[in-house]
């Protein structure tokens, strides 16, 4: 965390202009091989902006310009904020030796994540080049599940013995300039166990000489290393914390998770949910291989494929009526499409509501009843319109009745299924996002087609 | 923001048990009309937990238990964290007079949001009951667009003249216990213009007697009242800030946005995006009326409906071939379904990538080429399978060729369209989430059906 980084008020247009100019200047300096002015210029740019600038440079210049960052700490900050693509490029196109000096300055949690994602051989090479301390920290972090508190915490936190006095604490803060954000001071006993917390503000307001344990708050909100990252995010959000300490099973303080990491968790979980709902997974964003992406999407599509074949088989059984009333097949797209669309609407509302906590499993019945009414209203509306269309355009009362009734039934059923399935999944502790993709769509398709032909057989009395 | 609120380590199972017990105890005390023990018990519960408890009480008891919260500040905190449903219940079922005393303690930004959402008559009633200060603040906040920095900022921030010395600043902090989070101290000149910032940590580390303007950082990252809330969230996330100051057009400091508000913005924007992608809007989460929800979804479905009718018309034109090769209609669901599903996958990856910044408009060409290859791979795979299925099950080489080629073409086309449209919308500064819903689906449906019959006509040489 750092403060106060931009020179200009931030309006996105002005910002874009400024960035574009910086990109051009830096690229020009690079092409002229003006190393000293380039380094000087770069040193004055905020790491977050430098990352954005690198992303905008011609790809062939990125590695060299990156290594023109003179300060390895800044380089680490920049690296940490580069998009995945550019990071991969740097990892593959520059020598591991050259990078190791930079990567050592990454926060231990980020370094561990990076190393965890590397292929086996690069991982060992890089580990061998790290300093003893970094290596130990990374190794201890790598043992945690990446989606747990242990996997996202930083070990680079600040804690003090609770027996110190206020001035001693301040003296300590003075001497440790490099640690991440110290607005909460976690206090430990002689065994390293978390016993309390003091905010910087309290420290500032307490008279000198007071021992910390007299002013500390003993009711520390904390999580254990194996707490799920979603729970951590939920807690930090709910209690509006800036950071939360992480303890092991003996209550020994082992790490800290800051609110900026929580924002990343929230973004990551949402992306995961959305991709799952669409029937793919976040792994596809990590690769450029079309075949690999296809292989990630393939199994999800299989459910839809089998469902489609089942619908094909259903229609096959009704070939007789299709032969007599050819126009029935023309209405298949609109009938299937409308049910599918209302299903996606209902499912999205349910899945997102469950994810944000706006909806609770205990609300299942009222929710289902609500969706039933919504489905009936929409189905009624479009049923009447499609019925009239069928009647007038094809001059057949029977056709109008069939398509009108079908769309009423299918839209209502789709709305109902699309809210019921996620709620059911949530109750069974299965991720409801899974329910929404091919699963619901397929169920809606098959039932919808079946309903269509049952109604058609009935109305045409075949 | 507050710190350290829970007594127990937080594991979600243990937490649930504890909450359930609290809910039961509180409800029992309420039913026994034991007001004093009830108040005492409540006073020891964290507002966030109390909100969760109220949500779990029998609805008929909620209003009375809420008004049993003795401390109006705590009541305001609890109110602020209640789900929309319960807030609405409190607003309708308790007298505005009784509530006004509580609501006055809401942070001005939240109070303004609340009042902005009230129906006209309630709004005026409540405004009349507020104290002068609250009223002025709310009125000034209500003039900003709710999605701008002005709309989400709080006016309850802490700033000091830059001419003060460090001790004077500390003395000031001591005297103002109630202001929101002071880990950054914003410094202003005699005109109230923002000139610098000092962190609490710097204050702690600076020797007494130093004037603030000697230690302050002059490069303050700031936004103006009309900055879009998405830009604010992006900045706070990107630069890992804990808060960002808001200035007016004369650089006068008028408010502050904290990281917890930014988390809310991120959640809200994501919900909006997801619902937009599904063809509905977040307004539907604010109402319980099925008819109102249906009316929100209705227009979005219209695009799909018109598209469906267009597909119907396309099929109508090919009635002749359908009459001769009846089985063609049986394959409509699987052909449409597969293209639709791959389209949703590609579109979701594109829209989410644009929203998180993982994808940039300048990457359009490589992205489109990638999706083209993905579509070809998936279409090839399912094309071969469906072709074989058509050939063997229906004993027709022609049918196998038609369905195989169609699915190859349609899945490829769907993947392509689904990535092209969001990128195009983004470039035109239209929200790409809109592109993904009925728009893409409909385009894919119509083109897919058309392609199917063109290929069928060609292969069957009709």
Residue B200 CA from chain centroid, whole number: 32
pLDDT at B362 (0 to 100): 83
Distance from A320 to chain B by nearest Cα, in Å?
A: 9
Which among B3, B217, B328 has CB closest to A199?
A: B3
DSSP one-letter string for B263-278: HHHHHHHHHHHHHHHT
Q: Do A217 and B345 touch (CB under 8 A)?
A: no
Comparing alpha-carbon positions, the chain A residue that sits nearest to B352 is: A271
pLDDT at A18 (0 to 100): 80
Which among B48, B239, B338 has CB closest to A304?
A: B338
- Measured distance CA(B455)–CA(B448) in Å, rounded: 11
Alpha helices in B176-326 (DSSP H): 200-205, 212-215, 229-238, 259-277, 290-317, 319-324
pLDDT at B6 (0 to 100): 42
pLDDT exceeds cutoff 50 at A1: no
Which among B305, B308, B370 has CB closest to A290?
A: B370
- Minimum mean pLDDT among A61-65, A207-211, B380-384: which range? A207-211
Q: Do B316 and A305 touch (CB under 8 A)?
A: no
Which among B266, B294, B315 has CB closest to A330?
A: B315
pLDDT exceeds cutoff 70 at A5: no
Give B57's Cβ-side CA count (13 Å radius): 25
Q: Do A333 and B336 touch (CB under 8 A)?
A: yes
Q: What is the dihedral of CA B295, B298, B299, B302, to 10 degrees?
A: -160
The token duo for A184 is 């909460």
* Three-class secondary structure assignment of chain A: CCCCCCCCCCCHHHHHHHHHHHHHHHHHHHHCCCHHHHHHHHHCCCHHHHHHHHHHCCHHHHHHHHHCCCCHHHHHHHHHHCCHHHHHHHHHHCCHHHHHHHHCCCCHHHHHHHHHHCCHHHHHHHHHHCCHHHHHHHHHHHCCCCCEHHHHCECCCCEEECCCEHHHHHHHHHHCCCCCCCCEEEEECCCCEEEEEEEHHHHHHCCCCCEHHHHCECCCCCEECCCEHHHHHHHHHHCCCCEEEEECCCCEEEEEEEHHHHHHHHHHHHHHHHHHHCCCCHHHHHCCCHHHHHHHHHHHHHHHHHHHHHHHHHHHHCHHHHHHCCHHHHCHHHHHHHHHHHHHHHHHHHHHHHHHCCCCHHHHHHHHHHHHHHHHHHHHHHHHHHHHHHHHHCCCHHHHHHHHHHHHHHHHHHHHHHHHHHHHHHHCCCCHHHHHHHHHHHHHHHHHHHHHHHHHHHHCCC
Q: What is the mean pLDDT of residues A126-140?
A: 83
- Minimum mean pLDDT among A21-25, A197-201, B162-166: which range? A197-201
- Cβ atoms of A400 and A387 within 8 Å: the answer is yes
pLDDT at B209 (0 to 100): 83
* Chain A, chain B: beta-carbon pairs less than 8 Å apart: 367
User: For the purposes of burial, counting CB atoms within 10 Å of the CB of B177, is it exposed (0-12), middle (13-18) or buried (19 or more)?
Assistant: exposed
pLDDT at A182 (0 to 100): 59
- Measured distance CA(B81)–CA(B98) in Å, rounded: 19
Q: Do A319 and B300 touch (CB under 8 A)?
A: no
- Measured distance CA(A228)–CA(A294) in Å, rounded: 30
pLDDT at A252 (0 to 100): 94
Q: Do A227 and B309 touch (CB under 8 A)?
A: no
pLDDT at A4 (0 to 100): 33
- Measured distance CA(A397)–CA(A401) in Å, rounded: 6
pLDDT at B9 (0 to 100): 42
- Measured distance CA(A452)–CA(A352) in Å, rounded: 31
pLDDT at A188 (0 to 100): 94
pLDDT exceeds cutoff 50 at A203: yes
pLDDT at A178 (0 to 100): 61
Q: Nearest-5° angle of CA B220, CA B225, CA B231?
A: 70
Digit-coded pLDDT (tens) for A339-382: 988 998 999 899 888 888 788 888 889 899 999 999 999 999 99
Note down pLDDT in tens along chain B; length 462 residues.
333 334 444 445 666 788 888 899 999 999 998 888 999 889 888 888 899 899 889 888 999 999 999 898 899 989 988 887 788 888 888 888 888 888 888 888 888 888 887 877 778 888 888 888 888 888 888 889 888 999 999 887 888 999 999 888 888 887 776 655 557 889 999 999 999 998 887 887 788 788 988 888 888 889 999 999 988 998 898 888 889 999 999 999 999 998 988 998 998 888 888 888 888 888 887 777 888 889 988 888 888 899 889 998 999 888 888 888 888 989 998 998 899 889 989 998 998 888 887 888 888 898 999 999 999 999 999 999 999 999 998 889 999 999 999 999 999 999 999 999 999 988 888 888 876 677 788 888 899 999 999 999 999 876
């Amino acid at each position: 965390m750092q403060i106060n980084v931009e020179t200009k008020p931030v309006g996105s247009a002005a910002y874009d202009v400024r960035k574009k100019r910086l990109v051009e200047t830096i690229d020009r300096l690079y092409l002229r091989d003006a190393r000293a002015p380039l380094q000087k210029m770069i040193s004055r740019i905020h790491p977050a902006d430098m990352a954005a600038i690198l992303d905008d440079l011609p790809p062939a210049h990125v590695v060299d310009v990156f290594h023109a960052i003179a300060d390895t700490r800044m380089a680490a900050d920049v690296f940490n904020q580069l998009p995945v693509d550019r990071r991969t490029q740097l990892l593959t196109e520059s020598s591991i030796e050259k990078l190791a000096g930079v990567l050592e300055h990454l926060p231990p949690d980020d370094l561990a994540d990076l190393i965890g994602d590397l292929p086996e051989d690069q991982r060992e090479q890089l580990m061998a080049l790290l300093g003893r301390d970094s290596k130990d920290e990374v190794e201890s972090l790598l043992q945690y599940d990446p989606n747990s508190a242990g996997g996202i915490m930083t070990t680079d936190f600040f804690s003090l013995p609770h027996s110190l006095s206020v001035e001693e604490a301040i003296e300590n803060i003075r001497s440790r300039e490099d640690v991440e954000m110290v607005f909460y001071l976690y206090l430990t006993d002689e065994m390293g166990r978390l016993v309390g917390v003091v905010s910087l503000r309290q420290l500032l307001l307490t008279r000198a000489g007071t021992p910390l344990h007299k002013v500390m708050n003993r009711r520390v909100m904390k999580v254990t290393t194996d707490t799920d990252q979603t729970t951590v995010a939920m807690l930090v959000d709910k209690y509006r914390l800036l950071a939360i300490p992480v303890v092991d099973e003996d209550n020994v303080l082992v790490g800290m998770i800051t609110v900026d990491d929580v924002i990343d968790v929230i973004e990551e979980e949402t992306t995961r949910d959305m991709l799952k709902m669409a029937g793919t997974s976040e792994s596809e964003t990590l690769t450029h291989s079309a075949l690999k992406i296809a292989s990630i999407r393939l199994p999800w599509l299989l459910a839809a494929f089998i469902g489609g074949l089942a619908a094909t088989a259903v229609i096959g059984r009704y070939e007789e009526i299709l032969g007599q009333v050819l126009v029935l097949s023309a209405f298949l797209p609109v009938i299937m499409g409308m049910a599918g669309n209302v299903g996606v609407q209902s499912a999205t509302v349910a899945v997102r509501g469950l994810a944000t906590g706006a909806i609770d499993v205990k609300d299942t019945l009222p929710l289902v009843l609500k969706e039933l009414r919504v489905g009936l209203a929409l189905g009624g509306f479009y049923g009447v319109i499609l019925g009239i269309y069928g009647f007038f355009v094809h001059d057949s009362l029977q056709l109008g009745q069939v398509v009108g009734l079908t769309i009423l039934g299918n839209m209502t059923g789709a709305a109902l299924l699309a809210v019921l399935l996620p709620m059911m999944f949530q109750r069974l502790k299965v991720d409801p996002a899974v329910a929404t993709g091919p699963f619901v769509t397929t169920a809606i398709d098959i039932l919808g087609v079946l309903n269509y032909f049952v109604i058609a057989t009935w109305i045409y009395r075949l």
